[in-house]
Copies of this chain bind each other. A is one copy, B any other.
């Protein structure tokens, strides 16, 4: 859409799926009349293919989804080039969830079910997985945790993307269990097909503070860590220490939310997206979407990797000064032949023929 040819590095776990997808795209390139070379797929098991693509002089910008370690290594490489190029990495995130007491007492089991459904969506392999949940201690949290444990213990073991990711999940869950007074339910990895079971870890706010560095690191997979807090007064202070996150949520009933302004302020300082009464999994591709955030959630907090604004990663502005109409791109010609909304002398001019509820 931005006019740039694309070279995709296939994932070594799914060379066949990558090839099937690439063939469909190549066919669309041909039937759509796009130039040969608009799309290419390169496969390779090691890191060499990705590194060679980032280093290539014709590469003008790079998009990446994956781990912090992999993303940071390629970001460093892109920045160290003789001609540095933008490197848009969207990396790990624990996406902290803040639960307010009214909602938790209103429907502890329903909230546990909704959380568990989000944690286990795609067997927990979404970057927007709610990996850390702060709850106020009380009657609500007891019922909520009981239900959550029950769901984790009863959940079937589901497949992970590959053996390495399953292995990292098993190690990550074991590491969580070793942190002080953590109570763990589920998380075992039985059977063939890179399977694993969802896990729920519970600990106190004191233990969270003690092991905060470890708990801020994502364990990729269907696991969430519930932090029991004496009350919600600590939420704003806890939030102020977070590294960049893709998303965060506040869960509360109407009266909980009356006084949530300070918490909203604290959360938007570290997150790219704030959700009220919803989980971050499930991302709508629309104009208002921002899927990104401060480092280490992403390497470039100004850009989104999903949604209509994501095209800005692959374009750059050019000013045309004193240029006669016939030398201008159509988008800038006096008569607006494309019929697009434009700002002229400081005034936004929607196209005359814009229907009342035009959607992209």
Contacts and interface: CB of A to CB of B under 8 A. Distances in A.
A254 to B, nearest CB: 8
A300 to B, nearest CB: 7
Interface of A: 75-76, 79-80, 83-84, 86, 243, 257-258, 260-261, 264, 268, 271-278, 286-290, 292, 294-296, 299-302, 304, 309, 312, 316-324, 326-327, 341, 343, 345-348, 350, 354, 356-360
Contacts of A326: 257-258, 261
Total copies of this chain within the assembly: 2
Contacts of A348: 341, 348, 350, 354
Given A273-B318, A290-B318, A327-B260, A357 B341 contact: no
Contacts of A257: 324, 326-327
A37 to B, nearest CB: 17
A343 B287 contact: yes
Contacts of A321: 273-276, 278
Contacts of A299: 84
Contacts of A243: 83
Given A323-B276, A327-B264, A341-B348, A75 B86 contact: no
Given A275-B322, A302-B316, A327-B276, A347 B343 contact: no
Contact of A317 (B261, B276, B302, B346): B302
A317 B300 CA distance: 11
A317 B304 contact: yes
Question: Sorted from nearest, which 3 A-B pairs have the closest CB atoms?
Answer: A79-B79, A290-B319, A346-B359
Contacts of A86: 300-302
Given A84-B299, A317-B304, A323 B274 contact: yes
Contacts of A292: 317
Contact of A288 (B286, B319, B354): B319
A277 B86 CA distance: 33
A295 B59 CA distance: 13
17 contacts: A75-B84, A83-B296, A258-B326, A261-B326, A268-B318, A271-B318, A272-B317, A273-B321, A288-B319, A289-B319, A290-B318, A294-B316, A302-B316, A345-B359, A347-B356, A347-B357, A348-B354
